[in-house]
Amino acid sequence: MQTRLTTLLGIKYPIIQGGMAWVSDSKLAGAVSNAGGAGIIGSGGRTTEWVKEEINKIKLLTDKPFGVNVMLMAPNKDEVVDVICQEKVSFVTLGAGNPVPYIKKFQEAGIKVIPVVPNLKLAMRIETSGADAMVVEGMEAGGHIGTLTTMALMTNVLPKIGIPVIVAGGIADGRGIAAALMMGAAGVQIGSRFIMTSECPMHANAKAKILAATDTDSVVTGYSRGHGVRGLRNKFTDAFMELERKGAPQEELDRISTGTNRLAACDGDVDNGLVQVGQSLVVLDKIQSVQDAVEEMMKQTVECLTSAGSLVKSI
């Protein structure tokens, strides 16, 4: 399949993997790149040394293009940016903050820059700043999110932007990929579906909670402090949202939420940690290899796109 994303990155399929903090390591990202998408190492929450090691490991796992996500709220982001520039990865995605100060530096190092944005205003600022492409991420996504849905973002943003736009948030199968391509996307970013793979290091307890979850089982914490974080409803989210409702001070909310992503993803504490996952939960009904997930999604994408013509004929 050829789209503006496959051409930009030199990949087979128009899929990039979400750079999920505490989850996306070299093993997962290498498998996605080997399967024909573009894998991404998630540097959020990690030490700079970990990022360097994972970049070295992925180079042994794949000769295909891969990227690194920089979480712009991370205290060590400048160090991580330096390591990525030295290691000359193919591209970066930049989320959870203002990417503009970093664009030129990456491009001078020969690295393509793909910021993640949650609305049209930021999308237009990013295009003007000279980024190579962007991800628009709807609030159906897991983790740190904006307030607009993927459908509203596709409708509002895609006609206004000239550089390739990758769509994210709630896309978990080939029907979603086909829909995004039909709307004018250059490709998609997929996170949650890649959690449900044998290569993904997410703790088995968290994978089991996702397998058991239905469409209404995720909630958004943190809107009261300006940025929502989506994850599965549990003891932690109930306690956090009760504190939010009571108007608890910022410091208390920060204190009880710090470390909850790692607690669920790495330690498997799915009651006191936060399992960050998107809303398209019902199709996440099995664990499979990354290769099988990619092939299954792309087969369905092609079926959807080829059968779409018969809908027109039957009018």
> Distance between CA atoms of 2 and 75, rounded to whole angstroms?
38
181 contact partners, CB below 8 Å, separation of at least 6: 3, 14, 187, 188, 301, 305
* Residue of 96, 178, 213, 294 interacting with ligand TUI (CB under 6 A): 96
Smallest separation, CB 98 to ligand TUI (Å): 3
| Closest to 72 in 3D by CA, of 34, 115, 41, 24 | 115
* Residue of 117, 134, 148, 157 interacting with ligand TUI (CB under 6 A): 117
25 contact partners, CB below 8 Å, separation of at least 6: 41, 42, 54, 201
Stated as kind and residue range, the H or E segment containing 41 is: strand 39-42
**Residue 162, SS3 per DSSP:** coil
Part in contact with ligand TUI (CB under 6 A); list of ranges 52-60, 105-113, 116-124, 196-204: 116-124
Smallest separation, CB 261 to ligand TUI (Å): 5
Using CA atoms, how far residue 275 sits from 203, 209, 233, 242, 255, in Å, is 10, 8, 8, 18, 17
* Residue of 36, 97, 164, 174 interacting with ligand TUI (CB under 6 A): 97
* Residue of 15, 71, 84, 148 interacting with ligand TUI (CB under 6 A): 71
**Contacts to ligand TUI from residues 119-148, by CB under 6 A:** 122, 137, 143-146
Instruction: Give the residue with the Cβ less far from ligand TUI, 30 or 142.
Output: 142
Instruction: Give the residue with the Cβ less far from ligand TUI, 116 or 304.
Output: 116
Instruction: Give the residue with the Cβ less far from ligand TUI, 122 or 178.
Output: 122
Using CA atoms, how far residue 79 sits from 46, 72, 92, 258, in Å, is 11, 12, 14, 22
> Distance between CA atoms of 111 and 188, rounded to whole angstroms?
20
Instruction: Give the residue with the Cβ less far from ligand TUI, 29 or 71.
Output: 71
Smallest separation, CB 287 to ligand TUI (Å): 22
User: Residue 261, interface with ligand TUI (CB under 6 A)?
Assistant: yes
Separate counts of helices (H) and strands (E) for the chain = 14, 11
> Distance between CA atoms of 214 and 79, rounded to whole angstroms?
40
Smallest separation, CB 306 to ligand TUI (Å): 32
Q: Quick check: 178 and 301 in contact, CB under 8 A?
A: yes
* Residue of 24, 197, 276, 301 interacting with ligand TUI (CB under 6 A): 276
310 contact partners, CB below 8 Å, separation of at least 6: none
User: Residue 33, interface with ligand TUI (CB under 6 A)?
Assistant: no
Q: Would you give the binding string for ligand TUI spanning residues 214-253, x where CB under 6 A is met? A: ---------------x------------------------
Instruction: Give the residue with the Cβ less far from ligand TUI, 56 or 147.
Output: 147
User: Residue 40, interface with ligand TUI (CB under 6 A)?
Assistant: no
**Token pair 């982001």: residue:** 77
Binding site for ligand TUI (CB under 6 A): 21, 44, 71, 73, 95-98, 116-118, 122, 137, 143-146, 229, 261, 276
